Chains A and B, each alone.
Chain A
Amino acid sequence: MASGADTPRHAHLGDRAFAAGITLLGGAVLLVVGIIVVACARLSAPAFAKLGFFRFLTGSDWNPVEDSFGALPFIYGTLVTSAIAIVVAMPVAIGLALFLTEMSPSRVRRFVSFFVEILAAIPSVVFGLWGLMVLVPILRDVVEPALQHRLGFLPLFQGAPMGIGFLPAGIVLAIMILPTIASVTIEVLRTMPAALREGALALGATRWEAIGAVVLPYARRGIMGAVILGLARALGETMAVTMLIGNQPEIHGSLFAAGYSLPSVIANEFAEASGAVHTGALAGLALVLFGVTLMLSASARLLVRLSARRLVAA
C-alpha cells in the first residue's frame, strides 16, 4: 500500500480543494455557534451585573416588574419534564429497538420502523395540540385521580389533578424523544457482530438470555449515548412543553402541578421583555440551557464513539 507521503501532492488538487471547503464550512458552523454564545453573553451582562451569576442561578423568584430574576424554577421544570420523558421513553425505546433488531419478522420491522420515523416527523406544535386535547383530559379525569388514589401518600402525586403541568409535558416529551432513542439504539445494535450473539446461542442461551448476557452489555455505552441524545432533545424542546406545562414559574414537588421550562419562558417573554435586565436574564437562561445540552451531547458522542471503538477491538 502506498502511503500518503509517496503520492505527489498536486495529483489531489480536487481532494484538497474539497477538504479545504469542508474545513471552511465546519469553521463557519463553529463561528456561528461562537457568535450566538457571545451575543447571549453580552445580552445577559446587565442581568448578571445586577443580580450576580450565582444568585441568578439559584434564585427562585421570577418577577419582571420588580426586576427580580431567578433561574431555578425554569431549570427545575426543564429537568423534571426531561426526567419524566427519559423514565418513560427509555424502556419503551430500548425495548422497541431490541424487538426490531432481534425478534421481529422483517415485515413487522419495516412497518414499525416506518411508524417510528413518522413519529419523528410530527411537528412539535401538533404534539402540543394532541397533548392539550387528548392527553390532558385523560390525565385529569382518569390517570391522575387513579395515581392519587393508589400512591397519594407520595409527594409526587399530591395536589389537585389539573391535567396541565409537569406530567403531560413529560409524557409528550417522552413520545417525542422515543424515535431518537430507538433509532440510535437500533444503529448501535446493528453494529453488533452477529458472531457474538451466535456464540451465546450456541452455548444454549435463549434469545432473551443472549440479549441479557451479550447484546446489552456490548451495546451499553452506545445505548447510553442514545438516551443522552434523547435527553438533549427533551431539554431543548420548546413548543409542546410551553403548551402543556402551565407556564407558572414555581417549584412544586408534585408532578400534577404547573411549572415552567427554560425554553418556554424564553419563547414567551423575550419579544416583550421589559428592559435590559429582563432581556439579560432571558439570555442568561439561554446560556444555561445551551451549556447543559452541549455538555450532554458531547458526552453522548463520546460514549457512542467509545462503544464503536470497542467494536473494532473485538
Chain B
Amino acid sequence: MNVALSTPVADTARPKLEVQKLDAWFGNVHAVKDISLGVDARSVLAIIGPSGCGKSTFVRCLNRMHELTPGARSEGRVLLDGEDVYAVDPVYLRRRVGMVFQRPNVFPTMSIRDNVVAGLRLNRVRADYEAIVERTLTQTALWDEVKDRLDASAIALSGGQQQRLCIARALAVEPEVLLMDEPASALDPIATAKIEELIDELKQQYTIVIVTHNMQQAIRISDKTAFFYMGVLIEHGTTQQLFTRPERRETEDYVTGKFG
C-alpha cells in the first residue's frame, strides 16, 4: 500500500471490507478457496465468473448468511472497518452489511410501505418511517411509480419494481456495505438499466459488492473486478485493467468469451 498517499486521510487508506484467506464449504464441497481481497469504501467491486464458481457463497460469507445453510461452514477472516465480522453478533452485522438477492424477495404479506420499513421494525429502530419510505423509494426511482399505492401489496409490482423495492428495503436500515447477488439477472433490459443507474448513484454513499454474470454490466458499473474460477480468485484489479489487459490466461479466456 502506498504510505505517502494514505497519510492525509488515514480512514480511506484501509479498505472498508477486507477478506483474508477465506475458505467456505458446503459439507464436503469446497466452494470458496483461500480468497483474500479488499474493497475500498464507496467503491463498487464486481465479482464475475462462470456459474458454480463460488460467487454467491463468497458474498454470503461477507454478511454471515453462509453459515445459515445446514452443513455449511467457513474459515478465514472478514474485516469490516478492521473489525472481524465473525466476532460480532451476526444480527448486528447484517444491519451494517445489507443484501439484495438474485430473485426479488419482497415480503408478500406486507404492503409496499411495510416492506420498506420491515428492517427498521425488525430491529425496533424508532425513526420517521414516512420520511424513510419516501427517501429510499426516491433513491431507488420507485417513488413516482408507487407513491399513490404505498398500502397496496408488494406482490402487485412488476419484477423490476420488486427488485428496486428490495433495494429500498435494504437501504432503509442504512447499511454501510451493500451486497448484491446478480440483482438484475431476473429482470428485463429496461429494469436492468434502472438498477445499474441506481448502483452508480449508491456508490457515492455505500460500499457495494455485486455479483454479475454480465460482463458488460461489470464494465459499466464497477471500479474493481474480481474473477473467480472454481472457487479460486484468479484475478483481481481495476475493472478497466482486468477487461483490457488481463494478467492471467483464464481471465482473458473468460472475458473474451472463450468459455463460461
Contacts and interface: CB of A to CB of B under 8 A. Distances in A.
Contacts of A195: 101, 103, 105
Nearest to B123: A204
A310 interface: yes
A202 B109 contact: no
Given A204-B94, A206-B91, A313-B108, A198 B155 contact: no
A153 B56 CA distance: 61
Interface residues of A, number: 24
Contacts of B68: 198, 201
B67 to A, nearest CB: 11
Interface string B107-121: 111100000001101
Given A202-B99, A204-B92, A313-B155, A213 B105 contact: no
A314 B155 contact: yes
Listed residue (A198, A199, A206, A210) with the most chain B CB atoms within 10 angstroms of its CB: A199
A218 B109 contact: yes
5 shortest A-B CB distances, which residue pairs? A203-B119, A204-B95, A195-B105, A217-B109, A314-B108
B173 interface: yes
A210 to B, nearest CB: 8
13 contacts: A193-B105, A198-B65, A199-B101, A199-B105, A199-B169, A201-B65, A202-B101, A204-B94, A204-B95, A204-B173, A205-B122, A213-B107, A314-B108
A41 to B, nearest CB: 43
B65 A202 contact: yes
Contacts of B109: 214, 217-218, 220
A203 B108 contact: no
Interface of A: 105-106, 193, 195-196, 198-206, 209-210, 213-214, 217-218, 220, 310, 313-314
Contacts of B122: 200, 203-205, 209-210, 213
Contacts of A218: 107-109
A217 B122 CA distance: 14
Contact of B107 (A106, A200, A204, A206): A200
A86 to B, nearest CB: 24
A281 B147 CA distance: 62
Contacts of A193: 105
A203 B166 contact: no
A217 to B, nearest CB: 4
A171 B92 CA distance: 43
Interface of B: 63, 65, 68, 70, 91-92, 94-95, 98-99, 101, 103, 105-110, 118-119, 121-123, 155, 166, 169-170, 173
A106 B70 contact: yes
A47 B110 CA distance: 53
A196 B166 CA distance: 11
Contacts of B107: 196, 199-200, 213-214, 217-218
B70 A204 contact: no
Given A202-B63, A204-B91, A204-B123, A196 B103 contact: no
B118 A196 contact: no
B170 A203 contact: yes
B118 A203 contact: yes
Nearest to A203: B119
A180 B152 CA distance: 35
Contacts of B123: 203-205
Contacts of A314: 106, 108, 155
A204 B99 CA distance: 10
Contact of A203 (B70, B94, B106, B155): B94
B33 to A, nearest CB: 24
A134 B65 CA distance: 48
Contacts of A198: 65, 68, 101, 105
A295 to B, nearest CB: 27
A200 B108 contact: no
